[in-house]
Structures are given as structure tokens and as C-alpha cells.
């Protein structure tokens, strides 16, 4: 049961491997804007192999085991997803596929809370977030219904150093983080 002294630990997962990713930058901005009593660790999906049941049978790779443990240790998840071809990225879907499995033990995704956000093109990441929300139902992840954060025309909202320059968007991100904090505490009671 959560109390006022409990530090809510959130695992941030970017659906992009790109070094200059706006979505990874968005997670770094979230780190700056966290409310009191909340911490954020940003996970990397680098090194997670393509899901293969034969590979799983031979022994779950160490990179996957480490990713699963980071999820297990988190109170909540914060996904920052780009949109590729009307959906989430393959690397994000692959990581979720590995984490969703009950091998070698129960999936660490089961029963987690999560919030979605994303920086993208003309429509932000609307379609990707809808698809991600659907995918996360498999593990009964309680996805925050609102507020949502979709950042259209991302390259106009971040400077060359990956700083989010739009004050309104920064405030919307703060509201999302506060909502995730309250949402997670509600499920921990």
C-alpha cells in the first residue's frame, strides 16, 4: 500500500533506438518535471534480440532478463512511442513481446500501471498510442485513460540539444506525470 513517504519508481521506455530520438528526449524532460515522491529510470531497448521461441527455450537472453527485472522493480511504466506506419515501432513491440511472456516466470508486465506519450509528425503519435494501448491489454496493464500527450511536429518543439521548448507542452507533460502518480497510487491501495 502506497503512503506519502513511498517513492514511486517509474520505468521510462522509449520506442526508439535513434540517438537523437525525440521520444527519448521526451523521457529526459519528464525526468526534469517529476513531482515530489516520484523517480524515473529510462530503459534502453538496445541489445534485445528479436523474439524467438527457440531462443527462449534455450534460455532467455541476459539482456531480456535485465529488462524484465527493471520492469518488475518499477511501480509504473511511462511509454514514449514514435509512430511508424500507423503503429508502434518494431523494437518496442519486440520488447513488449519478450516482457509479456511467462518464461522463465510470471510476466513482470502483469498488473502494472502505465501512461503513454509520444512525439511525432503531423498527428503526433495518435495511431501508435491507440495501438500500444491495445497491445498492453494482453497483460492487464492499467493504462491511464487521460490526460494523453501527443506532440505533433516534434522537430519544431525540441531544440538541437533535445530540450522541449514549448511551455504549454511542458505543462501538459507535468499534468501527465501527476496523473500517472495518482493513478498508480490508486491501484496500489
In a domain, 3, yes or no: no
Question: What are the E-state strand segments in the chain?
Answer: 8-14, 38-43, 76-80, 113-119, 142-143, 149-151
Rounded to an integer, what distance in angstroms lies between the CA atom of residue 157 and that of residue 1? 38
Residue 99 lies in a domain: yes
Q: What does the pLDDT look like over 72-109, one tens digit per residue?
A: 999 999 999 999 999 999 999 999 999 999 998 999 99
* Range of the structural domain that residue 18 is part of: 8-188
Residues 47/112, Cβ–Cβ less than 8 Å: no
Residue 53 located in a structural domain: yes
DSSP label at residue 47? T
1 falls within a domain: no
**Residue 168 half-sphere exposure toward CB, CA atoms < 13 A:** 4
Report d(CA 127, CA 7) in Å as an integer.
32
Predicted structure pTM score = 0.95
Q: Which three cell numbers stand for residue 1?
A: 500500500
The answer, yes or no, to whether residue 144 has pLDDT greater than 70, is yes
Let me know if residue 96 belongs to a domain: yes
- The 10s digit of each residue's pLDDT in 7-37 is 999 999 999 999 999 999 999 999 999 999 9
Residue 150 resides in a domain: yes
CATH of the domain at 118: 3.40.50.360
Number of structural domains the chain divides into: 1
Amino acid at each position: 500500500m502506497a503512503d506519502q513517504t513511498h517513492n514511486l519508481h517509474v520505468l521510462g521506455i522509449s520506442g526508439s533506438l535513434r540517438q537523437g530520438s525525440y521520444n527519448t528526449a521526451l523521457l529526459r524532460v519528464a525526468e526534469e518535471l517529476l513531482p515530489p515522491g516520484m523517480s524515473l529510470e529510462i530503459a534502453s531497448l538496445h541489445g534485445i534480440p528479436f523474439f524467438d521461441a527457440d531462443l527462449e527455450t534455450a534460455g532467455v537472453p541476459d539482456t531480456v532478463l535485465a529488462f524484465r527485472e527493471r520492469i518488475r522493480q518499477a511501480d509504473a511504466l511511462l511509454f514514449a512511442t514514435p509512430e511508424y506506419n500507423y503503429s508502434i515501432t518494431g523494437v518496442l513491440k519486440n520488447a513488449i513481446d519478450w516482457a509479456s511472456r511467462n518464461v522463465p516466470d510470471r510476466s513482470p508486465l502483469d498488473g502494472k500501471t502505465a501512461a503513454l506519450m509520444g512525439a511525432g509528425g503531423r498527428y503526433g503519435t495518435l495511431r501508435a498510442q491507440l495501438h500500444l494501448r491495445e497491445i498492453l491489454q494482453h497483460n492487464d496493464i492499467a493504462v491511464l485513460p487521460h490526460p494523453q500527450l501527443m506532440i505533433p511536429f516534434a522537430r519544431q518543439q525540441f531544440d538541437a540539444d533535445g530540450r522541449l521548448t514549448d511551455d504549454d507542452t511542458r505543462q501538459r507533460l507535468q499534468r501527465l506525470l501527476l496523473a500517472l502518480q495518482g493513478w498508480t497510487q490508486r491501484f496500489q491501495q
